[in-house]
Amino acid sequence: MSATNWIIRGATIAGEKPGDIAVSDGVITEIGPNLDADKHKAQVLDSDGLIALPGLVDLHTHLREPGREDAETVETGTAAAALGGYTAVHAMANTEPVADTAGVVEQVWRLGKAAGYADVQPVGAVTVDLNGHQLAELGAMADSAAHVRVFSDDGKCVADPLLMRRALEYVKAFDGVIAQHAQDPRLTEGAQLNEGEMSGRLGLAGWPAVAEEGIVARDCLLAAHVGSALHICHVSTAGSVEIIRWAKSKGWPVTAEVTPHHLLLTDELAVGYDPVFKVNPPLRTSADVNELRQALADGTIDAVATDHAPHPVEAKETEWAEAAWGMTGLETALRVVHQAMVSTGLLDWAGVADRMSVRPARIGRLTQHGTPLRPGAPANLTLYDPAAPAEAVSPSGASKSRNTPFAGMELPGRVVATFLRGTPTVLDGKLTRA
Ligand SMILES: [Zn+2]
């Protein structure tokens, strides 16, 4: 659909009274009651009862291109993002080849521009080929057209403390951030499921919480020592929350994210050995889930990030031990957060806007996303129907992959529309172009 003027009629900007939002040339031009469609030469989108959120921003998406286009492409992944209410995603670096040079990050950035469903901000690798030994060309990626500010070896941990220190030192010069996948490799050799009662019962090798918490603690100390920004990916344990709370109380430059699945699911789901529930870091206990929810509510955890990790059917529909790690998440994230955080009274919709758009944009150094819906702001926004009756999640969507752990689960709410710079990518819950 071509760019046009819109009046979004009767939506409620999170935390405010219902009203109208006028959009023209990619920008919000006016907000108020009963805006005149003729005066604005605008098409009206009736949005009574809908919540307007700034377009969601994902800090942690695996788009798989280049290299694993059988699992996802930039186009299918960003289409899934748009359907989930996202207007920007950070594309993780563990592609084939790895996004460890200016050339690869620019390629991903261009593919995002060509697809046009959501802005794609490439994340650069910290080390060459994710090898954990040699720093990648962080400066060249930062200076490239892709303007990389977030670096991560996600999928792998930067385990070497000296290398982690050097990376933090390096990115400080251009206000970069190192996003750590906190997993001590030695403590998780062969690990399959959260170490605890369930792993014992199922005979699956345990993945202890301390394997995450040890790295989180070490890296918080390093970030403080260097005075450079650390972001902790997919926090999954109560102990990590406690360490991050402590680091933040010291005023250290540490931020953190949690995934939708770690806010809703527990390791008990592994009881049937269905690898759809196999994920890195693993699903934990209900005590961890409760602590993660509290931490997201009180701001200790800054952001929800999907860790959208698509895999082809053959990689997931196999024995647990052989199956790939990861779950899709872009199309369901907002509904899961609705269920886990809003329905439970832990967050209101203004809080959701903060944790799923404002703060992730700030952490990802995006200036054109995560801005409050105000006249003059870029018209990146999502319309969500919180009253839509709970409906079972369908595994088939825009993503090329089907490995959603929420399939068949009843979740509330519905993403009705997504606008990227004033142009709808999604209307009535469907992509505006096939
Ligand atoms: Zn990870």
Residue 35 near residue 20, CB atoms below 8 Å: yes
Residue spans of alpha helices (H) in 307-409: 313-316, 333-337, 349-353, 359-363
Mean pLDDT value across residues 5-11:
97
Q: Which amino acid is at 332?
A: T
User: Ramachandran region of residue 10, left (φ > 0), alpha (ψ -120 to 50) or beta?
Assistant: left
For every residue of 34-53, DSSP letters joined together read S--TTTTT-EEEE-TTPEEE
Residue in this structure with the two tokens 């790295």, named with its chain if needed: 215
Q: In three state form, how does the secondary structure of 59-111 look?
A: EEECCCCCCCCCCCCHHHHHHHHHHCCEEEEEECCCCCCCCCCHHHHHHHHHH
- Map tokens 């800054």 to a residue: 302
Q: Which residues have CB atoms below 5 A from the ion given as ligand 1?
A: 154, 181, 233
20: annotated active-site residue = no
pLDDT computed for residue 340 by the predictor: 98
Same fold, 5-51+376-400+410-431 and 55-363: no
How far is the centre of ligand 1, averaged over its atoms, from the C-alpha of 308 (Å)?
Answer: 10
Please give the C-alpha separations between residue 275 and each of 53, 58, 269, 350, in angstroms, as whole numbers.
Answer: 34, 24, 10, 35
* Residues 65 and 73 sit within 8 Å (Cβ to Cβ): yes
Catalytic residue among 100, 119, 307, 385: 307
Cα atoms in the Cβ-side hemisphere of radius 13 Å centred on 191: 23
Identify the pLDDT of residue 1.
Answer: 43
Distance (Å, whole) CA 88 – CA 68: 21
- What's the CA-to-centroid distance between 383 and ligand 1, angstroms? 29
Identify the three-state secondary structure at position 324.
coil
Which tens digit of pLDDT belongs to each residue from 409-426?
999 999 999 999 999 999
Give me ligand 1 centre to Cα 374, in Å.
34
Ligand 1 centre distance from Cα of residue 35 (Å):
45
Residue 147 CA to ligand 1 centre (angstroms)? 22
Q: Is the pLDDT of residue 3 over 80?
A: no
Domain ranges of the chain: 5-51+376-400+410-431, 55-363
What's the CATH code, domain 5-51+376-400+410-431? Answer: 2.30.40.10
Q: How many whole angstroms from 234 Cα to the centroid of ligand 1?
A: 7
Q: Would you place residue 19 in the very low, low, confident or very high pLDDT band (cuts 50, 70, 90)?
A: very high
pTM above the 0.95 mark? yes
- Signed CA dihedral, 193, 199, 202, 205: sign only: positive
Q: Is 203 helix (H, G, I), strand (E, B) or coil?
A: coil
Q: Please provide the CATH number assigned to the domain covering 55-363.
A: 3.20.20.140
Task: Write the pLDDT tens digit of every residue in 277-290.
Answer: 999 999 999 999 99
Q: What's the pLDDT tens digit per position in 45-98?
A: 999 999 999 999 999 999 999 999 999 999 999 999 999 999 999 999 999 999
Percent of the chain past pLDDT 90, that is, above it, reads 97
Polymer length of the chain: 434
pLDDT above 90: residue 202: yes
Task: State pLDDT tens for residues 235-266.
Answer: 999 999 999 999 999 999 999 999 999 999 99
Q: What pLDDT score was predicted for residue 167? A: 98
What mean pLDDT is reported for the chain? 97
User: 434 falls in which pLDDT band (50, 70, 90)?
Assistant: low
Say yes or no to pLDDT of 2 above 60.
no
Q: In angstroms, what is the span from residue 174 Cα to ligand 1's centroid?
A: 24
Across 361-384, average pLDDT: 97
Q: Is the bond leading into 66 cis (omega within 30 degrees of zero)? A: yes
